[in-house]
Chains A and B, each alone.
Chain A
Amino acid sequence: MTDIQPVILLSALLFTIGVVGVISRRNALIIFMCVELMLNSSNLALVAFARQWGNLDGQLFVFFVMAVAAAEVAVGLALMVAIFRTKHSTNVDELSQLKG
């Protein structure tokens, strides 16, 4: 497949869906998954660009993004467990103590 444009297009669409999800959903777990979706869409763009330039650096980037995403998920889910223990809720609207 040599035409990259549709792939970038798909990446942009997925990213947008992820953004809307992060902003509009109230369930922290789903917000988290939408973040993963955004990361995936950027991964897709990176792979497409690697294909475009004919080298492997983009793919290596994807590899590192995955490593970071794994770390993030581990810490994020741990946070969520800790919060759930005290608040018994994953609704981010309930977690609004840090306000002016």
Chain B
Amino acid sequence: MSAEFLVFLVVALISVASALGLLLSKNAIYAAMFLILNMVSLAVIYLLLNAPFIAAVQVAVYAGAIMVLFVFVIMLLGAEKLNAPETRPGLKWQQPLALALGVALAFQALYVVFARGITAPANVIEAGPLAIGRLLFTTYLFPFEVASILLLAAMVGAVVLTKKDN
């Protein structure tokens, strides 16, 4: 068992634990913190998988920007304690059923993954910002521009939606 795999194992455990924490936490702020932890742990795994640029973006954009936005909204709305009592007694069976289906999905995924082994080549390719950037501005130029328009539209949308009617 290599050191790399050992690191992976530890980080993987942390990420699963933090995901479960997200799933089970009563407090929205805690949930957000668990999600940040999960994202950071995934960033570590990205590093192990020869994706340093993505790892950096993961921390900066996801764990940084997006989650800050989340926390900001939670605070703004004062919605951190929102484990409201079940108001729909008719839907009580829904959560166990969701869990059962989730487990079924997980087992299906396990089955598919274990059906055959997947190994990667030993040599790694250059995956720094330079390589990513070159690809981004050559092959993926058009999707890149579309993504920029999408972000612009999202910004306009967010402004319109939150604006008070006056």
Contacts and interface: CB of A to CB of B under 8 A. Distances in A.
Given A3-B119, A67-B150, A37 B38 contact: yes
A30 B120 CA distance: 35
A2 interface: yes
B106 A16 contact: yes
Interface in A61-87: 62-64, 66-75, 77-82, 84
Contact of B102 (A16, A52, A72): A16
Given A12-B109, A47-B49, A56-B127, A37 B119 contact: no
| Candidate in B51, B95, B119 with the most chain A CB atoms within 10 angstroms | B51
Contacts of A60: 132, 135-136, 139-140
Contacts of B118: 3-5, 8, 52
A62 B147 CA distance: 12
B39 A40 contact: yes
Contact of A67 (B82, B139, B151): B151
Nearest to A68: B150
Interface of A: 1-10, 12-21, 23-27, 29-30, 32-34, 36-37, 40, 43-44, 47-48, 50-52, 54-57, 59-60, 62-64, 66-75, 77-82, 84, 89-91, 93-94
A44 B121 contact: no
Contact of B110 (A9, A29, A55): A9
| Candidate in B77, B124, B139, B155 with the most chain A CB atoms within 10 angstroms | B77
Contact of A81 (B5, B140, B154, B161): B161
Contact of B23 (A21, A56, A75): A21
A59 B87 contact: no
Nearest to B94: A24
B20 A74 contact: no
Interface string B138-162: 0110010001001101110111011
A10 B16 contact: yes
A37 B69 CA distance: 15
B154 A13 contact: no
Contacts of B69: 73-74, 77
- The 6 lowest CB-CB distance pairs between A and B, nearest first, are A12-B109, A71-B154, A20-B102, A78-B158, A78-B161, A23-B98
A26 B28 CA distance: 12
Contacts of A82: 161-162
